[in-house]
Amino acid sequence: MTMKMAMPSRAQSRSDAGVEGNTRLTAATGMVLTGLLLVEGVTVLNVRGYITLHTFIGLALVGPLVLKALATVYRFARYYTGRTAYVRRGAPPLLLRVIGPFVVLSSLAVVGTGIVLITDHGRSSQWIFLHKASFVLFIVLTGVHFLGHIFEAITKTVEDIRAPHGDPARRTRALRLVLIVGAFAVGIAIAAVFTPSAASWHMANSFR
């Protein structure tokens, strides 16, 4: 009898640890993105002067953005398919749920138009306009998203760093670290390959 009652308890503990691990992964990835976006925001103040850095950071965002999107979609899929642990944790506030897909779409638009500009050497004024417009939309939506999640992101990241040995989610901390570092490394690799200095000069001239 005791064994039968204990087994569901252990299963529930593992499920809750999985939810917590997903939350901490999303939070830590969000902190990485916040740092990169702050640097990118500085380059926006003088795009022509910092065009190479602007391009490099923009491309470096790709890896962490994809990882965060996948972690978020996974949580939403688990929640809406009725997985008990995810339902018990609950969903984000309604406003954040509504703008979530638009944050993802606007980030894809910013990165996508940026890649087009790189391949086009910034010659098309239409793509420059679309890149600027999508960036403004992205900043507005991300600002709301940031304000809604920043406290949880900081708290969960600190909890993961300082997690005691008895913390069930600690077992998968190494995996989360590998995923985050791997995503960041992929972004850096993409940026290193697709940020030629010659194209940067062409793009700088086109932003007059």
Per DSSP, helices labelled H in the chain are 2-44, 51-60, 62-80, 84-89, 94-120, 125-161, 173-193, 197-206
Q: What is the pLDDT of residue 2?
A: 45
Burial tier of 186 (Cβ tally within 10 Å: 0-12, 13-18, 19+): middle
pLDDT value for 5: 43
User: What is the model's pLDDT at position 28?
Assistant: 93
Quick one: DSSP state of residue 172?
G
- Minimal CA–CA distance to 122: which of 54, 40, 45? 54
pLDDT given at position 111: 86
Virtual torsion, Cα 136, 140, 141, 146, nearest 10 deg: 130
What integer pLDDT is reported at residue 119 of this predicted model?
78
Q: What is the mean pLDDT of each run of 10 residues along the chain (208 residues)?
A: 47 74 92 91 84 88 92 89 86 84 89 82 78 90 87 90 84 93 95 69 51
In this prediction, residue 13 carries a pLDDT of: 64
